[in-house]
Amino acid sequence: MAQVKIDCMYEPCPIPLLKAARELSSLELGDVVLIETDHSCAIANITEWAEKEKLDCWIEETRSGDWNIYIKKT
């Protein structure tokens, strides 16, 4: 079970989700993508997409205005 980290700090809205989707398409079942982002809209955006694609997704807030978003390929 691999975990791939994508650093999306300081990057604006659609970029984190676009990068995550691109990464996920090349991963295997059970692998996890970790997106590091500080964009508040990206969370809403990514969680909705993950729900729609029926992927496991959870978030932790690491520091003020920073989040780790985990998406697992299921």
Partner 1 sequence: MINQGKNDRLWQYVGGVLLIFVLVLIISRMAERSSVNLLFGVLFGFTLQRSRFCFVSCARDPVLFGNTRSVNALLLSLAIMTVAFPIIQNIQLQSIGKIVGQVHPVGIHTAVGALLFGFGMVIAGACASGTLMRVGEGYLMQVIVLIGFLIGVLLGVLNFGWWYDRFIAEAPVIYLPQYFGWIRAVIFQLGVLLVLYFFIKHYSSRKKIKI
Partner 2 sequence: MKENQEMGLLKKLYTVVFKNIWPLWVGGVILAALNTVYLLLLGRAWRITTGFTYWSAWVVQAFGGKPQEWSYFVETGRQTEVEQCFFSNDLSLVSFGVILGALLSVLLSGQFKIKKIKTTKQAIAALAGGIIMGYASRIALGCNIGAFFSAVPSLSLSGYVFGLFVVIGAWLGSKFLVKFLL
Site membership for partner 2, residue 30 (CB under 8 A):
no
Question: Which residue stretches of the chain are H helix?
Answer: 14-25, 40-52
Quote the tokens at residue 51: 């729900």
Site membership for partner 1, residue 40 (CB under 8 A):
yes
Tell me which stretch binds partner 1 (CB under 8 A): 1-9, 16-24, 29-37. Answer: 16-24
Residues 68, 59: Cα–Cα separation, whole Å: 6
Q: How far is the CB of 10 from partner 2 (least distance, A)?
A: 4
Orientation of helix 14-25 relative to helix 40-52, angle to 10°? 40
For partner 2, the binding residues (CB under 8 A) are 9-12, 14-15, 18-19, 38-40, 43-44, 61, 63-66
